[in-house]
Amino acid sequence: MSDQMSRITLARRPSGAPVPDDFKLVTEARPEPAEGEVLIEVTHLSLDPYMRGRMDDAKSYAPSVDIGGTMTGQGVGRVIASKADGFTKGDMVTGMTGWASHACLPASELHKLDGTLPPSTALGVLGMPGLTGWVGLHRFGQPKAGETLVVAAATGPVGSMVGQLAKAVGLRTVAIAGGPEKCALATDTFGFDAAIDHRAHDDARSLRKTIAEAAPDGVDIYWENVGGKVLDAVMPLMNVHGRIPVCGMIAWYGGANVEDTNQLPAMWRSILVKRLQVSGFIIFDHWDQYPAFLADVGPKVAAGEIAYLEDVAEGLENAPYAFIAMLKGGNTGKQIVKL
């Protein structure tokens, strides 16, 4: 049994929100590393909203997961066998392990952890979500002191990074989050100037009124993580020459319809009249910035200047349940699975 491994595969394509039966736990023989590869025992696995897109068959920026294929994702783990120069047994590394207990990966696709911070930070605040916030805010948000930023999913690992970085540049930062606990986190832990509970508002109009009060000078940057009601609420509040980095649309993953059939024309009108810059981006285009990001943000995390929060589920077999809950906003902070 010691040479066995487990992985979570895609059993079938979800229709709408994923359910447990869309996943399957498979146990099989552990692979041997080929020349240039290492075998990793995964200790922590990252769950991220983008994975929902990989479950669909639709053309996307990355290939779909095949039926029967391992769910893709970043993991952290310990090298237990190495056939690659520069890696030895016991090294802690991160790479695209997938939802699996073990993975063989080429050394060129791995990043070695330096051990100054807990390994799980390589999946969140110092991993893909952190990099997403850092690249997206600076490159597409172009924050300027005195401006106002609104962030959806503000206590998530991307949103909390964006809010803290923007605050440090001198912006007024307004968090949108689900529920009073997350709102308290947004202001108390992540330093947002204001936090708004979108669940307290049944419709976009009511939410908009509250955002307008929290952003009396209008919104210069709307960090788009969610789509849906929040987008509808914020759009008319955008200032001239506002920027909207589009990083996700969790409210609309798995298909959705908008109730207000005038929303699209109204949005298009805002883009035109306010001269907005709407920039879709995918972090996989920007991995070349990872060293610069680590050099800038790593010391700030180590010094406690940038806060982070992790929500840890236990056991690979619970990854599907944690993922399903996360898509509904059930997590608090970066969702990790500890193996």
* Spatial distance between the Cα atoms of 241 and 97, rounded to a whole number of angstroms: 41
* Spatial distance between the Cα atoms of 16 and 336, rounded to a whole number of angstroms: 23
Six-digit token pair at 84? Answer: 């690659």
Residue 2 touching its own copies (CB under 8 A): no
Give the one residue of 64, 142, 206, 263 binding its own copies; rule: CB under 8 A: 263
Q: Looking at 104-112, 171-179, 187-195, 260-268, which segment touches its own copies (CB under 8 A)?
A: 260-268
Site for its own copies in 200-239 (CB under 8 A): 227, 231
* Spatial distance between the Cα atoms of 14 and 57, rounded to a whole number of angstroms: 10
Give the one residue of 268, 296, 302, 328 binding its own copies; rule: CB under 8 A: 268
* Spatial distance between the Cα atoms of 239 and 242, rounded to a whole number of angstroms: 5
Comparison of 40 and 276: residue with beta carbon closer to its own copies: 276
Q: Looking at 10-18, 160-168, 184-192, 270-278, which segment touches its own copies (CB under 8 A)?
A: 270-278
> In terms of DSSP H, where are the helices of 150-192?
157-169, 180-188
Give the one residue of 1, 29, 272, 303 binding its own copies; rule: CB under 8 A: 272
Binding mask 34-73 for its own copies (x = CB under 8 A): -------------------x-----xxx------------
**Residues facing 106 on adjacent strands:** 37
By CB neighbour count within 10 A (0-12 exposed, 13-18 middle, 19+ buried), where does 235 fall?
buried
Q: Looking at 81-89, 100-108, 176-184, 271-279, which segment touches its own copies (CB under 8 A)?
A: 271-279
Report the SS3 class of residue 259: coil
For residue 104, the surrounding DSSP H or E stretch is strand 102-106
Residue 240 touching its own copies (CB under 8 A): yes
* C-alpha radius of gyration, the chain, whole number: 20
Give the one residue of 31, 191, 281, 325 binding its own copies; rule: CB under 8 A: 281
List residues binding its own copies (CB under 8 A).
53, 59-61, 227, 231, 240, 246-249, 252, 255-259, 261-265, 267-282, 285
